[in-house]
């Protein structure tokens, strides 16, 4: 699956860093995990509703996703302020994670996947 495929259901609706038309060869680790889940038939992107973003949900998963998803993400070192630990005091509430992280949290919170299916895709 190419980025063209998953940008429509991961990047465009959920990622504040995504810019339409920008040619990025890389994808965040969250999007890669979602792509694996689609290929393993754990989720069907054609049946996913458009969820409303809710920062409470992705904050709930920061620690566990940070360990299992973000630690292996190509963007973590230079481009990710969400888990980098380099934010100034008071900035935490203004920073969103990548679209893959957000969608994974929304999928769990809305019972589309569980932690077992997420672990299968890692």
Please report, for the chain, the start and end positions of each structural domain, with discontinuous segments joined by +. Answer: 3-121
CB atoms inside a 10 Å sphere around CB 109 = 16
CA gap 28, 98 in Å, rounded:
7
| Confidence (pTM) | 0.83
How would you write the pLDDT of the chain (122 residues) with one tens digit per residue? 444 477 888 888 888 888 777 666 668 888 889 999 999 999 998 888 888 888 888 778 888 888 888 888 877 777 777 776 665 666 666 678 888 889 999 999 999 999 888 888 88
Q: What pLDDT is recorded for position 89? A: 63
Q: What pLDDT is recorded for position 1? A: 46
């Amino acid at each position: 699956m190419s980025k063209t495929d998953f940008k429509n259901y991961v990047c465009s609706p959920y990622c504040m860093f995504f810019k339409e038309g920008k040619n990025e060869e890389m994808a965040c680790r969250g999007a890669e995990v979602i792509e694996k889940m689609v290929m393993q038939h754990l989720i069907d992107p054609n049946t996913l509703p458009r969820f409303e973003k809710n920062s409470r949900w992705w904050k709930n998963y920061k620690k566990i996703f940070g360990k299992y998803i973000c630690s292996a993400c190509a963007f973590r070192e230079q481009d990710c302020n969400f888990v980098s630990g380099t934010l100034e005091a008071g900035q935490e509430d203004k920073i969103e994670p990548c679209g893959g992280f957000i969608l994974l949290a929304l999928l769990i919170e809305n019972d589309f996947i569980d932690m077992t299916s997420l672990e299968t895709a890692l």
